Structure 1
Amino acid sequence: MRVMVTGGAGFIGSHIVDALALRGDQVSVLDDLSTGRLGNIKHPVNFYRGDIRDPEFVTDAVVKEKPGVIFHQAAQADVQRSIKSPALDAQINITGIINLLESARLSGAAKVVYASSAAVYGIPRRLPVDENHPVSLLSGYGISKYTAEHYLSVYRSLYGLDYTVLRYANVYGPRQDAGGEGGVVAIFLDRILKGEAPVIFGDGEQTRDFIYVKDVVAANLAAAERGGGMVMNVSTGQAATVNRLSALIAQLWGRDVKPEYRPPRPGDIKDSRLDNSLAGRILEWIPGYDLRAGLRETMELWNK
């Protein structure tokens, strides 16, 4: 199969590229390398370096490659950055999906598998959060991710371009960025390994649903074949406090490091846990890693 991964040099995207290449697909990657790295791509691919905001660049790449399925991972994925720079967030996440969908339409692509986020749910009214939970947007990031879902629906109605939306919980694993506002697991791993205190915003009793990247990859591959026109959560369905996360990483690293606590950040929520039962039924997918197993494997591959 001919497939394309936008953001394929990034954290999640590069793991999707690995899985597609290993099963024998002809893979192309579109990435601007603003956060991704060429070193993350471990297999031969057709690589296009450019900006998802540039319609000519996106169209040229997609029309040339003619992928049957596009895995759209390219995004501005930092909630805090979206609050500080909402226009930039919208340009990447909304204009970017429009450019991609127009290109997919012109090239005759069959389907887009789209990486959305639990951020669209805002503050949960109930736990676990299923796909029918009311949307409550707290940041530009949540707005842009949810808006893109609507564009996918419209393009399916107008042009027959199929899609599956995957709303990710908190993804972690090897190749995740530990710099700046990167994923909390990566930041904690990096700081604790260096003997530095992990920084926790709030009291640390806030909960998150941490899902290992290989489980996210498996859900994406399943969604390429199933779940047309549907929105599904990709999660473990289990919650862990940030305090527990910090302590577990310190234990697995064999470090005696205590966290540093700071005031809560705007846009952060107290608790999050997603119901993954719909993905289980439709995609025939279940996560294979619990938090301890995922962290252990992440550490084994941390600098490789």
Structure 2
Amino acid sequence: MKILVTGGLGFIGSHLVDRYVDLGYEVIILDNLSTGTLANLNPNARFVSMSLLDKEVADLVYGEKPDIINHQAAQVNVRNSVANPLYDLETNLQGTVRLLEAAGKAEVKRFIFSSSGGTVYGKTPSRAIPESYKTIPISPYGINKLASEFYIRFYAELYGFQAVILRYSNVYGLRQNPLSESGVISIFINRLQNQLQPIIYGDGEQIRDYIHVSDVVNANIMFSQLDSTLQGTFNVGTGKGTSLNKLLTFFYEFYPYGIDPVYKKAKEGDLFYNVLSIDKLASLGWSPKLSLEEGIKELCQGDI
């Protein structure tokens, strides 16, 4: 089986590529190296340096005719999307539509998309949110992720391929870039390792659903079997919420001499509560395997 992974040199995408290679799939990576790095390149995968906005994408997809496209490439910074909504529109929505058009004409059998459970729902009550909850995103990033979902359903109906939309919660793990504004766990560890104060915007009681990248990969793999009829939209999280203040206490167990955090004014548009219900995905036999404490231990004892 041949799989095209967009963003395959990035954080989540590179972990996916590694698993696909281990399973014996033929893997093609499409990445423009805007945030990905060659250090994440699996030597047993083929790499094509290209942006989804390049006209050559259609030729690549049609020439390779992959069985599955796993679309992980994205501009992932919510605040950047607010500062530059046109760039987010081009990268996250226009790029996805170009890829879908090519996928349909190349007769791709299955299209897997990494959406954002952290942004497509918008402001939510303090409970785990199911896939059926109303979607009112409050950032261009969330708007474009949700719009991409609609385009995926449209093209799946038009061309007859199977569509899987996975709405991730807050993913963390090895290879996450600690220098970006997203990925608070990698940012905290990086600052503590360098004897810098962790920065918390607001009072630190905002709640998020943190999931280890290995569990996200497992969900993707479950939907990467061509003989499967599973498709649709699924939350991928843990169903459990953790505050930033609680999160920091886990780190200080490994960095007892770490500097205390500094609290700054909350950022405009930040959500207070975001936890995903995973009942739908769990009903298919999937469940998160790595607890937050275990995942943080792995990171603190390893090399981000």
**TM-score with structure 2 length normalisation?**
0.96
Superposition map of 1:1-304 within 5 A: 1-54=1-54, 56-118=55-117, 119-125=119-125, 127-225=127-225, 226=228, 228-282=230-284, 284-303=285-304
Residue-by-residue CA offset, 1:91-117 (whole Å, 9 max, x unaligned): 011111111111111211101110000
* Distance (Å, rounded) in 2 between the aligned partners of 1:229 and 1:291: 28
Q: Could you tell me which runs of 5 or more consecutive residues in structure 2 were left unpaired when the two chains were aligned.
A: none
Higher normalized helix content (fraction of residues): 1
Q: How far off its partner does 1:298 sit?
A: 2.2
Residue-by-residue CA offset, 1:246-274 (whole Å, 9 max, x unaligned): 22112223433211111111221101111
Verify the 8 A CA contact 1:67 1:109 in the aligned structure 2: yes
Verify the 8 A CA contact 1:79 1:267 in the aligned structure 2: no
Q: Which moved more, 1:18-27 or 1:38-47?
A: 38-47
Verify the 8 A CA contact 2:171 2:211 in the aligned structure 1: yes
Residue-by-residue CA offset, 1:102-154 (whole Å, 9 max, x unaligned): 11112111011100001101111351100011111100000000000000110
Verify the 8 A CA contact 1:121 1:134 in the aligned structure 2: yes
Residue-by-residue CA offset, 1:51-101 (whole Å, 9 max, x unaligned): 1122x2211221222111111000011110010000000101111111111
Q: Tell me, what secondary structure is at the counterpart of 2:234?
A: strand
* Distance (Å, rounded) in 1 between the aligned partners of 2:2 and 2:165: 20
Q: Which moved more, 1:221-230 or 1:186-195?
A: 221-230
Verify the 8 A CA contact 2:5 2:29 in the aligned structure 1: yes
Q: Tell me, what secondary structure is at the counterpart of 1:253?
A: coil
Verify the 8 A CA contact 1:18 1:43 in the aligned structure 2: no
Verify the 8 A CA contact 1:156 1:229 in the aligned structure 2: no
Q: What is the number of equivalent residue pairs in this alignment?
A: 301
Match of 1:264, as an amino acid?
Answer: A
Verify the 8 A CA contact 1:21 1:43 in the aligned structure 2: no
Q: Tell me, what secondary structure is at the counterpart of 1:232?
A: strand
Match of 1:191, as an amino acid?
Answer: R
* Distance (Å, rounded) in 2 between the aligned partners of 1:82 and 1:213: 23
Q: Could you tell me which runs of 5 or more consecutive residues in structure 1 were left unpaired when the two chains were aligned.
A: none
Match of 2:250, as an amino acid?
Answer: L
Match of 1:202, as an amino acid?
Answer: G
**TM-score with structure 1 length normalisation?**
0.96
Q: Tell me, what secondary structure is at the counterpart of 1:121?
A: coil
Percentage of identical aligned residues = 37
* Distance (Å, rounded) in 1 between the aligned partners of 2:254 and 2:87: 38
Residue-by-residue CA offset, 1:3-25 (whole Å, 9 max, x unaligned): 01100000000000010001111
Q: How far off its partner does 1:227 sit?
A: 6.4
Q: Tell me, what secondary structure is at the counterpart of 2:120?
A: helix
Q: How far off its partner does 1:48 sit?
A: 0.7
* Distance (Å, rounded) in 2 between the aligned partners of 1:227 and 1:190: 42
Give me the CA root mean square deviation: 1.3
Q: Tell me, what secondary structure is at the counterpart of 1:204?
A: coil
Q: How far off its partner does 1:182 sit?
A: 3.2
